[in-house]
Amino acid sequence: MACIICGSDSESIKFIYSDTEFYECTKCKLVRTLPFPQLGEIREHYKNKFEKGNYSTIHSSMDMYIYLYRTYIDLIKNYSGALSGKKILDVGCFTGDFLDLALKENAETYGIELQEDAAQISNKKHYGRILNCQFNDAAFDKTFDIVTLFGLIEHVTTPEILLENISSWMKSESLLIIQTPNAGSFWSSILGKFWPPYAPVEHIHYFSAKNIKQFLEKYNYTVLKVKPHIKKLSIEYVYTMFQNFGPEFYILLKPFYWVLPKFLKKLKLPFYGGEMLIVAKKN
């Protein structure tokens, strides 16, 4: 199976984790799980996660996530200027909370969301502008000034088709903002297969800062910035997320967590788990 970045047919098994085989391209170091999960398995996974998994945790911790989404707004404005009147598409928009902030900036907001319950919540706030479908089933009669992929590209089985579709929805010089795990990060190297983002069925493709630049350039984007993504999160939130990403750490830390005073659990600190932010523009 040819690499989607460099076209090489040479890849080797990197490790087996959670009964899943992870393969690495010997040339560009793209990591992916094979075989890919089927659509039915993916839909069932996200339905369960929304009800009682990490998406439920995100939804219940939205006050903290709003702060994170504001940092995204600030990042976009640094490169695009004021958002008033600009069309923004958030692919994988979840319950539309990032789009809520963009709407307050007088942007014209649109979204795509696969998870039905989340899409319904988002559509109540951005009526008629949220598509509940896979990205490759989406169609628009307009082009966008800004497209965002926050924690999305690692989830899809065909990132190459994702970029092709996005490109057809963008104007020349439009911005593309991506947030995704960095498989070339310090934490990935140190923790190996126990690095929390290695989480099938949730994540399928794992890029590094180097090869995602190659990937974007292949599809006619210029990368303006790649930087580590440091988030300000509560200890309570990080610990809870370990149930879904890095369950070994959840078990290991459990005795220490439960003796922490409540105020410390609520304490928000800068966390870096090996993720990155990419800013690119369409040529």
Supply angle C-alpha 235, 51, 64, rounded to 5: 30
Domains of the chain: which residue ranges?
11-282
CA 282 to chain centre: 20
Q: Packing angle between helix 209-218 and helix 159-169, nearest 10 degrees?
A: 50
pLDDT band at 51 (very low <50, low <70, confident <90, very high): low
Nearest to 5 by CA among 231, 219, 151: 219
Tokens 């057809």 map to which residue? 168
Q: Rounded to two decimals, what is the model's pTM?
A: 0.92
Is residue 54 over pLDDT 80?
A: no
Q: Using one digit for the tens of pLDDT, what is the confidence trace for 6-16? A: 999 999 999 99
Between 117 and 55, the more confident residue is 117
Q: What's the mean pLDDT in 39-62?
A: 66
Q: Using one digit for the tens of pLDDT, what is the confidence trace for 156-191? A: 999 999 999 999 999 999 999 999 999 999 999 999
Is residue 55 over pLDDT 60?
A: no
pLDDT computed for residue 17 by the predictor: 96
Q: Per the structure block, which two tokens stand in for 107?
A: 């942007």
Could you tell me the sign of the dihedral formed by the alpha carbons of 98, 138, 219, 180, in that order?
Answer: positive
Question: Three-class SS of residue 5?
Answer: coil
Tell me the chain's radius of gyration from C-alpha atoms: 18
Instruction: Give the architecture-level CATH label for domain 11-282.
Output: 3-Layer(aba) Sandwich (3.40)
Q: What is the mean pLDDT of the chain?
A: 92
Percent of the chain at pLDDT exceeding 90: 78
- Position 161: which residue type? I
Are residues 94 and 122 in contact, defined by beta-carbon separation less than 8 angstroms? yes
Where residue 29 falls (left for φ over 0; alpha for ψ -120 to 50; beta otherwise) is: left
Between 48 and 58, the more confident residue is 48
pLDDT band at 60 (very low <50, low <70, confident <90, very high): low
Q: What's the mean pLDDT in 239-256?
A: 89
